[in-house]
Amino acid sequence: MCHQLFMTRRPWLARTIATLALAAAWPLQAQPQTPTAAQAPQAVPASAPLDADGAGLRPTPSPAEGVDANYRIAPNDLMAFDVFGVPDMKRDVRVNASGEVSLPLIGQVPVAGLTAQAAERLIAQRYQEKYLQDPQVSLFIKEFTTQRVAIEGAVIRPGIYPVTGQLTLLRALALSGGFAPYADINQIVVYRHGSGGAREQFTYDLDKVRAGQEKDPNIRSDDVIVVQRNARRTALRDSLFSDILSTLNPFK
């Protein structure tokens, strides 16, 4: 009776005691365990080829994001190298300043300026000459060379920009913050050091590139992009300012 009277007169205390009792009796929810790399099952895509025992072969790793088939290997690039069926060959290799990679058994191989596919064929040929029969070489670019391009002329932020990875003209111009007034986007000039040190010049019409009528060209390290001003519009602006100043100047 006393207990019932106490609970009736102190309903808030009764609710608090009941809540604490319920929390103490409630079992803690088990946290799901994240499988480690060794525990996690290795999924094999349905399209993956099978070996002689019916087990799935190692899925082909994907190249670094942004790499296209036309990317040319450059000094300081880091690549994952592998020869199928020879696990001791698997390693990461970096292209040295001379454009070469050092590989087991065959030593230095020049790869700078080649696409990944062309470098694979060259390396496979080197191994096949003395050591392996029909080697299946895999070469995947993991890190790009840091490129520097100069953007000048009628842009918001002209300057020199370090860029990592594949770069096109549209992406390079986006780095500069867009065009300044009176920019001539139909005559964008790219200067480049060609073979033998000769300076090459390319002119692009950005309207056609945006419309898909022309390919968005790749920009290489040390390229100089110049956005010139539209000479006619600039001359018209200067003429209008001159007329306005002449009208407002009573002493002329």
Q: How confident is the model at residue 163 (pLDDT cuts 50, 70, 90)?
A: confident
Strand spans (E) along 135-205? 137-143, 146-153, 159-164, 183-193, 199-204
Q: Looking at beta carbons, which pairs linking 108-113 to residues 24 or more positions away fall under 8 Å?
A: 111/73, 112/72, 112/73, 112/74, 112/75, 113/72, 113/73, 113/74
* pLDDT value at 61 more than 50: no
Averaged pLDDT score across all residues of the chain: 74
Average pLDDT over residues 189-202: 85
Strand order in the sheet with 91-94: 91-94, 78-83, 137-143
Pick from 77-81, 90-94, 147-151: least confident: 147-151
Of all residues in the chain, the percent with pLDDT exceeding 90 is 38
* pLDDT value at 175 more than 80: yes
* pLDDT value at 147 more than 50: yes
Residue 11, amino acid: P
Predicted structure pTM score: 0.42
What pLDDT, on a 0 to 100 scale, did the predictor assign at position 94?
A: 93
What pLDDT, on a 0 to 100 scale, did the predictor assign at position 249?
A: 60
78-143 is classed in which CATH architecture? 2-Layer Sandwich (3.30)
Per residue in 116-138, pLDDT (tens digit) is: 999 999 999 999 999 999 999 99
Q: Which fold would CATH assign to domain 146-235?
A: Outer membrane lipoprotein wza fold like (3.10.560)
Q: Where are the domains of the chain?
A: 78-143, 146-235
Average pLDDT over residues 143-154: 82
Average pLDDT over residues 25-45: 38
Q: How confident is the model at residue 216 (pLDDT cuts 50, 70, 90)?
A: very high
